[in-house]
A and B are shown apart, each in its own frame.
Chain A
Amino acid sequence: MKLEVKRIVKNFGGLQALKGVSFTIDSPQLVGLIGPNGAGKTTLTNIITGMLAPTSGEIWLNGERIDGMRPYAIARRGLGRTFQVTRAFRRLTVMENMLVPALARNPRADRHAMEQKAREILAFLTLDHLTNEYARSLSGGQQKLLELGRLLMLDPQIIILDEPFAGVHPRLQRTIYDYIRRVREAGKAIILISHDMESIFTLSERLMVLNFGELIADGPPDEVRRMPEVIDAYLGRDEEEETEHA
């Protein structure tokens, strides 16, 4: 797998949301993406997944240029994502949510094999007892789990998770945490966008920091967290440390 993001610029009228962002992911790894609100994280995600067109720049996936492609075409090439706000199909059942992406594209696919795969994923996500429930009857956290499970049905190589822990009960957060580790162990690359610093620093093998549309840091988390520009822009200083400096 190889995702190359090259000099991505995005302008919204007079506002430049992304100012030439570049990075490459070329191996299974868990990449944390952090930055203050409005830094451009979701805009970057939307551009990578085809929901927004960049003003300039290029995106390549496994040697194929994908900027300008439609989101469904990018998803079919193995790049999946979840949304900050849960987007389960609320008036389909849990099982239908899991199966519709694969079976709608290929109605001749082996339904029993698909169902078996869906049941295994749902069991891991502790949703197996809700298979025939409508998604709308699930809690917000359960819907988030369902969205994560649905993503795995497509077997993507690279996954972008946008705030998977936001608004989720701590017990379910633990399930999501385990899910991310398991997906990573299965050899996928994950870009994890989160404001939950504990999870980011525990899970990430590499950390990128966006600030005002610029990638100001990209490296091992322990190095990135000590960078003065990252501390100034996002992480902040401890009060004691500030007092010492004063």
Chain B
Amino acid sequence: MLTPTVWDASLFHASPQLAVSGEFVLRLIIDGLMIGIIYALMAIGLTLIFSVLNIVSFAHGEFYMLGGYIVYFFLQTFEALPPLLSIVAAAIVTFAVGFLFERIFLQPMARGEVERPNEYAILVTFGLAFFLQFLMLGLVGPFPKKAHRLFDLPQIEGTFFRTTKATLFLGDITISAGRLFAALIALLALAGLLWFMYRTWTGRALQAVSQDRNAAAVVGINPLNMNTLAFSMGAMLAGLAGAVLVTVYSWVPWVGVPASSKSFVIIVLGGMGSIPGSLLGGLIIGVVESLGTGLFPDPARAQAYRDVFGLVIFALVLLLRPTGLFGRKL
């Protein structure tokens, strides 16, 4: 039985007493954008892997799960160290696991040493997903864990906003510190990724491989190294998404399964292999789910339909534009 996770719970729960007003809608939009950034972070990791390696990683959700557990245990074990280091640790470990997995299990496929590469990629990434899930089940057990908040907010009393240690108040809108930091760290990670992809020559080489593998190879770019880099970075982005959300939600070994499904929806919506598409897709799904849930006439059922709102948009986009919003590579 799956435990409720961020992927099926709202960051803010719409209060039935709150009338539908401009402020309420704004609150829902902010809610949607904040969760959308984290959706996007994870989906961009998946799209990077698909775009460069031309495979779908079914272990993506497990890197998300792993990132969360690393932060949880880091905070438990190294209480004296700055908590931000736990996020760095999660990024390093998920990058390293992705690196090793790609080198050991996916390189033979890229080198043409595997007879049926498409089936192999599906099986081997599914295998990794099960391995990581059951490894964590064995190590930490099935009971939910939740990390404490990384930081306290400084206490400020302003005209339009005020803060307590745990909450930011913007008029009638309240945002918890944990969620605020989750979104800010995700935003920073996204900015770093976009800078790397579009401003560094290694990032441009990744784009080149994604656009034409053979053409990149004959001008001296090693596509095998680019495969490793893309998979490791993809794993790290999923790990970062988990790392920022473990302070907000309860964590179990199968927490990555719904997260992974959501990422698949986002990359198809945005256009397979498109980073801008995944970014926009994540934000759209986040906002649509938030608005749908908050404005649904029956609040008692709204939460149960949360995924449906995003899927309706997804179905409409596929009907009108089957390649997704940005149906192209990187």
State the A residues within 8 Å of B (CB): 49-51, 70-73, 75-76, 80-81, 83, 87-92, 96, 99-101, 103-105, 107, 147, 150-151, 153-154
Contacts and interface: CB of A to CB of B under 8 A. Distances in A.
B330 A150 contact: no
Given A72-B221, A75-B219, A89 B211 contact: yes
Contacts of B97: none
A91 B328 CA distance: 10
Given A91-B329, A100-B201, A104-B202, A76 B211 contact: no
23 contacts: A50-B217, A51-B214, A71-B218, A72-B216, A72-B217, A72-B221, A75-B217, A75-B219, A75-B220, A80-B219, A87-B212, A89-B208, A91-B207, A91-B329, A91-B330, A92-B204, A92-B208, A100-B205, A101-B220, A103-B201, A105-B220, A107-B201, A154-B219
B217 A70 contact: yes
Given A49-B218, A104-B208, A154-B220, 4 more contacts: A91-B329, A92-B211, A96-B204, A105-B220
Contacts of B224: 70
Chain B interface SS verdict (over half): helix
Contacts of B220: 72, 75-76, 101, 105, 154
Interface of B: 200-202, 204-205, 207-208, 211-212, 214-224, 328-330
Contacts of A83: 214-215
A12 to B, nearest CB: 15
A147 B221 CA distance: 15
Nearest to B329: A91
B5 to A, nearest CB: 35
B219 A150 contact: yes
Contacts of B223: 72
Contact of A107 (B202, B211, B216, B222): B202
Contacts of A105: 220-221
A116 to B, nearest CB: 17
A47 B212 CA distance: 19
Contact of A101 (B212, B221, B328): B221
A87 B209 CA distance: 12
Contacts of A50: 217
B272 to A, nearest CB: 15
Contacts of A99: 201
A98 to B, nearest CB: 10
Contacts of A103: 201, 204
B202 A89 contact: no
